[in-house]
A = this chain, B = another copy of it.
Amino acid sequence: MEYYSVLLPLAIILVLSKVLVKFCERLNLPSVVGMLLAGIIIGFVKFIPGQDIITATSLEGLGFIAKIGVIFIMFNAGLGTDIKSIKSIGVPAILITAAGVIVPMGLGFVVACLFNGGFGVPKEVLLSNLFYGVILTATSVSVTVATLREMGKLHGKVGDTIVAAAILDDIIGVIVLSVVIGFSGTGANAEAPSMVILKTVLFFIAAIIVGYICNKLFRAIEHKFPHHRLLPILSVALCFFFAYASEAWFGVADITGAFVAGIVLSGNPEVNYIERKSDIMGYMIFTPVFFANIGITTEFGGISTELIFFGVCFIVAGLIGKVIGCGTAAIACKYGVRDSLKVGIGMMARAEVALVCAQKGAEFGMINTSIMPFIVILIVISSFTTPIVLRKLYRKELEKEKAAQAVPVEAK
């Protein structure tokens, strides 16, 4: 492979992504959108005759970096998981998460069935339709968290619930993804459903045991070599190992392995140090390449009128699925109607994990890659509407507080 041909698209991706991410930040859009946009723009280069920027060779190289990139994205997502915050919120978070997973997944499945061959179909189509549902499960609360923080409402009943439920639904989403992919095994990889579930369970048991031992070991290392680069390097190695072992030995997706490795280390006292280094690896090269690569490889040619209808319904299913699911569950947990609506809206935002899931599905041939642009649109819409609606919902409350502040009160 004339590997150096990958260097030019790499340089272009890094510069263009960064410029567009800056631009998106101004519009309060998540940076993912900027990186995707960079990829879509670069993708058009392939239509210029005689260009040698986007070639089969450079695409292969970018694809390889993107695949390491998604491992880092999921590892960092895992590292950022604060298991303790789930414990503190307890039963309501679990119920809200469950409803927030089941309702959008169900709606996504129904929409997919309506457009992709009905309900009474062979296993493959059924699983494919289910996968469309899976894509809609994972919330990405960074936009919500930023909005709540801005209003000083991050720490409160609603804020805590949203953060806990979003963490939980990432975990559940990843598990569901693993199982659905496991079921979908074709040819030599086909396994009995019971075997898939058994292997998935075994993976999590093994991960907990290995994780426990590694955490002990890492603490000892940190004690001996405080703040040394040893720890982040070993953490990345653990991430790679988990990603490999999950896929090769347990038939569980590699991204699940990376995510679980992150969760395992999230309890480590040095998690911030590990996260910082691993984050640099991500943003310096791997993450932009992953998202840009999605943009580059998106085929707009395959978008028919029917697919547009499907895509629109799919987006709507994604948006209202979370609001209905989480909102109703919150009401059932005796949250007020307005608070329940806040939770529902707060959980509506999607970002990188939805794309990672979709990309995985495309890799396994389970979904039509032409759906990608619609997932991007879902991300853009949810990122725009979530902050606006949340602010509206909090307006009265904030006005009251402002009025109260005008009257001098004792500092608490």
Residues of A that sit less than 8 Å from B by CB: 1, 3-5, 7-8, 10-12, 14-15, 18, 22, 60-61, 63-64, 67-68, 71, 229-230, 232-234, 236-238, 240-241, 243-245, 247-248, 254, 277-278, 280-281, 283-285
Contact, CB under 8 Å: B283 / A280: no
Contact, CB under 8 Å: A15 / B285: no
- Which of these, B71, B234, B244, contacts A14 with CB under 8 Å? B234
Contact, CB under 8 Å: A11 / B233: no
Q: A246's closest neighbor in chain B, by CB? A: B4
Give the chain B neighbours of A63 by CB distance below 8 A.
3
Contact, CB under 8 Å: B236 / A14: yes
Give the docked Cα–Cα distance between A243 and B245 (Å): 35
Interface SS of A by simple majority: helix
Given the known interface contacts A232-B284, A233-B18, A281-B284, the answer about A240 and B11 at a Cβ–Cβ threshold of 8 Å is: yes
Give the chain B neighbours of A230 by CB distance below 8 A.
18, 22
Contact, CB under 8 Å: A244 / B7: yes
Give the docked Cα–Cα distance between A8 and B239 (Å): 10
- Which of these, B8, B15, B236, B247, contacts A248 with CB under 8 Å? B8
- Could you show 16 A-B contacts with beta carbons less than 8 Å apart? A1-B64, A3-B68, A4-B244, A4-B247, A5-B248, A7-B240, A7-B241, A8-B241, A11-B240, A11-B244, A12-B237, A14-B233, A18-B233, A18-B234, A229-B284, A280-B284
**Distance to closest chain B CB from A210 (angstroms):** 12
Contact, CB under 8 Å: B18 / A240: no
Q: A52's closest neighbor in chain B, by CB? A: B248
- Which of these, B4, B240, B281, contacts A8 with CB under 8 Å? B240
Apart from A64-B64, A281-B285, 15 more pairs, CB < 8 Å = A3-B64, A3-B68, A4-B67, A4-B243, A4-B244, A7-B71, A10-B237, A18-B234, A61-B64, A229-B283, A229-B284, A232-B284, A233-B283, A236-B284, A280-B280
